[in-house]
């Protein structure tokens, strides 16, 4: 009987230890999933005037980073999202691309294609040629771009 009681205590202690270990491993995974995101917003201007449409794209320097994109509003402002509107971008360093073209709305098929009007120089459309960088830190990040 005493032997059974001793084995029983060992089993209980082991069960408590395993339960505590499992809880320790599971609890950090609860709540927000994935890496920390921070709010990123700003204004895009070209030669001092707001760029009225387009997209801002943050391409992460980190190989495991995720791209964040925002639509440029008529007043030139943007707000980034990674998954959901306004959720921001992961913390870290980025190369930035800005694309802004005003494509004509046609209700006919022209004999010769009508090229879109670029609202900013073409070099800004690719992160490798734009020369634009940004660092996203914890909290809110106001990151304006004044293009020339």
Question: In this predicted model, what pLDDT tens digit does every residue of 52-94 receive, in sequence order?
Answer: 999 999 999 999 999 999 999 999 999 999 999 999 999 999 9
Question: What is the predicted pLDDT for the residue at 33?
Answer: 65
CA distance 118 to 105: 15
User: Where in the chain are the domains?
Assistant: 1-31, 37-147
- Which of 72, 2, 65, 58 is CA-nearest to residue 34? 65
CA distance 7 to 21: 21
Paired with 145 in beta bridges are 44
Question: What is the predicted pLDDT for the residue at 108?
Answer: 81
63-101 residues labelled b (16+ CB within 10 A) or e (exposed): eebbebebebbeebbbbbbbeeeeebbbbbebbbbbbbe
pLDDT of 16 > 60? The answer is no
Question: What is the predicted pLDDT for the residue at 26?
Answer: 37
Q: Indicate the pTM of the whole model.
A: 0.73
pLDDT of 11 > 50? The answer is no
For 37-147, the fitting CATH number among 2.60.40.10, 3.40.50.2300, 1.10.10.10, 3.50.50.60 is: 2.60.40.10
Mean pLDDT of 9-27: 39
CA distance 28 to 31: 8
The pLDDT tens digits of the residues spanning 95-141 come to 999 999 998 777 788 788 878 899 999 999 999 999 999 999 999 99
Question: What is the predicted pLDDT for the residue at 115?
Answer: 83
Question: What is the predicted pLDDT for the residue at 32?
Answer: 55
């Amino acid at each position: 009987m005493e032997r059974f009681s001793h084995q029983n205590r060992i089993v209980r202690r082991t069960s408590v230890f395993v339960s505590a270990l499992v809880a320790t491993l599971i609890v950090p995974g609860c709540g927000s999933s994935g890496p920390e995101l921070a709010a990123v917003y700003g204004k895009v201007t070209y030669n001092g005037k707001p760029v009225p449409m387009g997209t801002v794209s943050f391409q992460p320097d980190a190989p495991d980073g995720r791209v964040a994109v925002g639509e440029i509003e008529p007043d030139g402002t943007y707000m980034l999202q990674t998954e959901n509107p306004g959720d921001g971008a992961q913390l870290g360093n980025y190369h930035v691309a800005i694309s802004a073209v005003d494509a004509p709305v046609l209700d006919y098929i022209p004999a010769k294609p009508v090229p879109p009007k670029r609202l900013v120089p073409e070099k800004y459309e690719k992160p490798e040629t734009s020369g634009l960088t940004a660092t996203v830190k914890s909290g809110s990040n106001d990151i304006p771009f004044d293009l020339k």
